[in-house]
Amino acid sequence: MTEIQAPHIDYEALSPLMALVGGSILVLMVGLLRARFVRHTLVPALTAATLLTAIGLTIWIWEPGEQTPIIEGSLTVDTLALALSMLFYVAGLVCVALSLRALAAREAGHGEYYALLLGSITGMVVLAQASDLITLFVGIELLSIPLYVLCATELRRATSLEAGLKYLVIGSVGSATLLYGLALVYGASGAMQFEAIAAAIGSDELPVTDPLLLTGIGLAATGLAFKASVAPFHQWTPDVYQGAPTPITTFMAVATKAAAFAIFLRLFGHALGDAQPDWGPALAVLAAVTIVIGNVGAIAQRSLKRLLAWSSVAQAGYLLAGVVVGTTLGLQATAFYLAVYLLMNVAAFAVIVARERRSEHGDDLASLDNLGRSEPWLAWPMTIAMLSLAGFPATAGFIGKFYLIDASVAGDYTWLGIAIVVGSVISLAYYLRVVAVMWMGSYEIEWPTLPRRRVRPVAGWSPEASARAQPEVALVAVLFAAATILFGIWPDPIFDAARDVGTALSGLG
Amino acid sequence: MTIHLSIVLFLPLAAGLIGAFLPRGMARWAVLAGTVAVLAYAIAMLADFESGSGGLQYVTDDEWISELGIRYQLGIDGLNLFMVVLTAVAWVPCTLVAAFREHDRPKLFFFNLALGETAVLGAFMAQDLALFIVFFDLMLVPFYFMIGGWGTGERVRATTKFVIYTLAGSLLMLAAAVALGVLSTPDGGEISFSLAELERRSVSEGNQQWMVLLFALAFFVKAPLFPLHGWVPETYRASPIVTIALLSAVLSKVGVYGFLRIVLPVMPEGSQHWQELFIIVAVFSILYGSVLAFSQDNVRLVVAYSSIAQLGFIVLGIFAFDDKGAQGAVFQMLNHGLVVVPLFLIIGVIAERAGGRESLLELGGMAFRAPVLATLFLIVTFATLAMPGSANFVGEILILFGSYEDKLVYGLVASIGVVLAAVYMIRLFQRTMHNRAGPAVASRDVDALSLAAIAPLVAVIVALGLYPNFVVERTETSTTAAIEAPRGVQQQVASR
């Protein structure tokens, strides 16, 4: 009689994940109580508590260089996963703060809204820890499906529903492509585990030029490119970012991007690491194209959310440069930039949330008109975020770009470093316009004479919302802007974390 | 290891920050006090400076971002001593003039003014390439805000263009600098951006070539030099007068200073490779700037284009790879800065008396009732056109002699610029001070405030004309050292 061996589970390493799942169930259940206090206070508080618990547990199990396989090696807890999980939790906390007075949470039902948010974060954490192809796919679906719903939570606004549907359709295409690619990789290598795939590639049976393997890599890269909004698979980004409720956009912009890059790093840096000479140049071209398309696309945008969507496409290009080189330095630079990216984008989006609720212009650029005079506490964070995104020194964005260029050059992709720089130059055209609108008085903004779609501003504005103060939104904006400056001058803490992350994928050069 | 330079560097910023928390009217005085303190410190340093020693003095060297090999490294030698002094000297009268004007959002304006001084000082003092770039780019932020927020006319367009032009150059330089740091790292060595360390390490000639080109792009835009001056007309027209005085007098020097500090010593082969091209650019700028300066009606643009010509001279002197030429260039960097500040302040005074008009067609006849103003202007005019007896004359002669040594033809063509300078400067003086009085010109003499701002600068110009050796003996050693490497390469190439 054969005994069925239950898989060994390291509960310690699994604890943040368990906290998240438990928290989301709890939030969903508590949300069923319809008392106002429960919906408006208790549910968000529980969500925040869940995330804080997860953060605490993550710090507790943080151990540089250690790789703990859990559940028979389908998940690996290492510093890469933990560091990126931290980004997800922080993005989640920000989303909770921004959602407190949002229309979306009210319309969708608070319990469901926050439970979905936690569910999506769970998916991201699974994805970041995934170390075989099946878990990877489970993670990606678990993160995506709640997001499809969350995008459509402003039920009475057509664009929100449109965003949800669009994201669902495109996301599914991306998932399908990814799945197909993973199947081919499995077919070629005969292994599910990243470790085993890495061992198989380059061996005598599976040369790196194997067509099946290469097709698989190509399709997997395409699927991930959809998630990370890498050009030319980025078209959904502006529409979805604009249509989704802004707190959700914030969350998607920073957390989904980080999750997509987590798996980019793990799959390409670890499992397919030996095939780097094959996929490196292809991804490098994608990165360069993404940088150009994202930055050029942003120039003609009036809607701030669309502008940041295009900017996030461009940033995906910068981040991809760190993946392309396939070195520890590249991994560190990508992790570093992801953290920086979170800081500056959250600051910018928080200001948009605040303005959207008060100004009749919604998320149009005009909503920032003369903000430097009327609300300097919002204008400063936005200014800092824009300057940081453009890569001005004394902001974290400068050091992040410096690091990425450093990694590109060291990885023999000097031209990609120059592409990053050229992209930054183009980006000045739109980042500076935002700054000019806030500080340089009312003036007729010059628009490039492109045939552009007339996009109506998002109607998040409501009289009740404008009547209420929203200190938490301003606080988020100020806090993250201050961090952007602080880490621009004293980046050591992020560097320390990035160095720990660098120990995670040992197979890199 | 001293803290002096850090104090000088962050004094203005500290003053600006203090000003930001003071009541509205007080910010200006805090910033003014800060600039005066910096000037006092700079003068003390000038007195204390050991001339003749080629090494860096008052060195500060600390870790900053060790992962990227960036160090917080400051130091002063003959190359940047007078640039630091120039910055300190230029900021005081400009802040003074600004302080007595009513500004919209004064706290923000004076904070930017102070931040600008810190950034410029940092760029001049930095002895680490990455630190230099940090300050080089940081300079743009306050000037972007000052031009866009307090300028006139098409200010936003102008300031955006200014920033995009300059940052396009300096971001490409950033890429080249990172590449320089990475590629020069020996196997197993730590990456470093320290200039002294980079000088010891080497990069292949092929890499040096494109790197030098990207560095030059940044510096030429900043200077500005001929094909890259597209931002100049709009920016000069739209800026507040104090901002443009500083931009033209001090910021333009950071670019050419970068050649001497970074490009020539660290990438001698690359510099030698492009020598001819850069000299041609310089000579073109001299002629182009002079001709355009002659044909402009707007007073500011006359000075703007004359600056292009002057900066052309400086670059010519640097790339002649000759002791005299480089010495002249360093001297001329100081001289040009010293004349441009009073020039713009005088233009401000003139425009005030003409109801804000700045077109030569509407000015004139001011000297009659404003003898003091006319005298000051005349001295500055003579200095600008390099009248014998002025320090500018010494500088230009050194540059031209330096270029005659090896690049005679270019030197001779450049000499035309000296003649043209006389033409456009005299024209500027005549059309504003003499001729028939313009229709809206109220001829009043210079007021006490402007006099207090302009007169000391004019005194310094005169003093330097009398005793140019004061500068030359302090800068000589460092200047010679700066061009030693490319000259060596040049001689090697010649002997081959």
Cβ B149–A439 below 8 Å, yes or no? yes
Q: Residue A182 to residues A81, A215, A326, A380: CA-CA distances in angstroms?
A: 20, 10, 20, 45
Contact residues, chain A, for B175 at CB < 8 Å: 405, 409, 414, 417-418, 420-421
Cβ A409–B134 below 8 Å, yes or no? no
pLDDT of residue A460: 47
pLDDT above 90 as % of chain A: 54
Nearest-Cα distance to chain A for B122, in Å, is 13
Rounded to whole angstroms, the Cα distance separating B100 from B451 reads: 13
pLDDT of residue B57: 85
Residue A453 has pLDDT above 50, yes or no: no
Out of B135, B149, B172, whose CB is closest to A440? B149
Dump the DSSP string for A78-120: -HHHHHHHHHHHHHHHHHHHHHTT-HHHHHH-HHHHHHHHHHH
Cβ B163–A443 below 8 Å, yes or no? no
Rounded to whole angstroms, the Cα distance separating A47 from A45 reads: 5
Out of A393, A425, A432, whose CB is closest to B160? A432
pLDDT of residue B350: 87
ipTM score: 0.91
Cβ B171–A393 below 8 Å, yes or no? no
Contact residues, chain A, for B154 at CB < 8 Å: none
pLDDT in tens, B266-287: 999 999 999 999 999 999 999 9
Nearest-Cα distance to chain B for A405, in Å, is 7
Out of A417, A432, A433, whose CB is closest to B175? A417
Out of B134, B149, B183, whose CB is closest to A393? B134
Rounded to whole angstroms, the Cα distance separating A420 from A415 reads: 9
Strand A68-70 relative to strand B57-65: parallel, antiparallel, unpaired? unpaired
Which single residue is written with the structure tokens 């006139």?
Answer: B152
Residue B52 has pLDDT above 80, yes or no: no
Three-class SS state of B359: strand
Cβ A421–B68 below 8 Å, yes or no? no
Three-class SS state of B94: helix
pLDDT in tens, A419-451: 999 999 999 989 999 999 898 875 444 443 334
Nearest-Cα distance to chain A for B182, in Å, is 6
Mean pLDDT of B233-251: 92
Residue B192 has pLDDT above 50, yes or no: yes
Give the mean pLDDT of chain B: 89
pLDDT of residue B156: 87
Answer whether B312's CB lies under 8 Å from B284's CB.
yes
pLDDT in tens, A253-292: 999 999 999 888 888 888 887 888 888 898 999 999 999 9
Out of A393, A409, A440, whose CB is closest to B179? A409
pLDDT of residue A506: 63
Burial label, B100 (beta-carbon count in 10 A; 0-12, 13-18, 19+): middle
Nearest-Cα distance to chain B for A459, in Å, is 29
Least confident range from A80-89, A393-402, B194-203, B443-452: namely: B443-452
Answer whether B249's CB lies under 8 Å from B336's CB.
yes
pLDDT band (50, 70, 90) for residue A1: low
Residue A51 has pLDDT above 90, yes or no: yes
pLDDT of residue A458: 45
Cβ B137–A398 below 8 Å, yes or no? yes
Give the mean pLDDT of chain A: 87
pLDDT in tens, A120-155: 999 999 999 998 899 999 999 999 999 999 999 988
Cβ A425–B164 below 8 Å, yes or no? yes
Rounded to whole angstroms, the Cα distance separating A420 from B412 reads: 43
Compute how many other C-beta atoms are within 10 angstroms of the C-beta atom of residue B204: 11
Mean pLDDT of B388-401: 90
Least confident range from A378-382, A386-390, B365-369: namely: B365-369
Best of B9, B65, B67, B144 to mutate (most A CBs within 10 Å, chain A)? B67
Answer whether B337's CB lies under 8 Å from B322's CB.
no
pLDDT of residue B270: 92
Identify which of A20, A37, A29 has the alpha carbon closest to the alpha carbon of residue A111: A29
pLDDT in tens, B75-111: 998 889 999 999 999 999 999 999 888 778 888 899 9
pLDDT of residue A463: 42
Contact residues, chain B, for A446 at CB < 8 Å: 157
Contact residues, chain B, for A390 at CB < 8 Å: 167
B interface residues, A as partner, C-beta within 8 Å:
65, 67-68, 105, 108, 130, 133-135, 137-138, 140-141, 144-145, 148-149, 155-157, 159-160, 163-164, 167-168, 171-172, 174-175, 178-179, 181-183, 191
Residue B100 CA, chain-centre distance (Å), reads: 25
Contact residues, chain A, for B137 at CB < 8 Å: 392-393, 398
What residue spans define the domains of chain A? 11-446+454-502
Rounded to whole angstroms, the Cα distance separating A404 from A336 reads: 9
pLDDT in tens, A83-119: 999 999 999 999 999 998 888 888 888 889 999 999 9
pLDDT of residue A232: 87
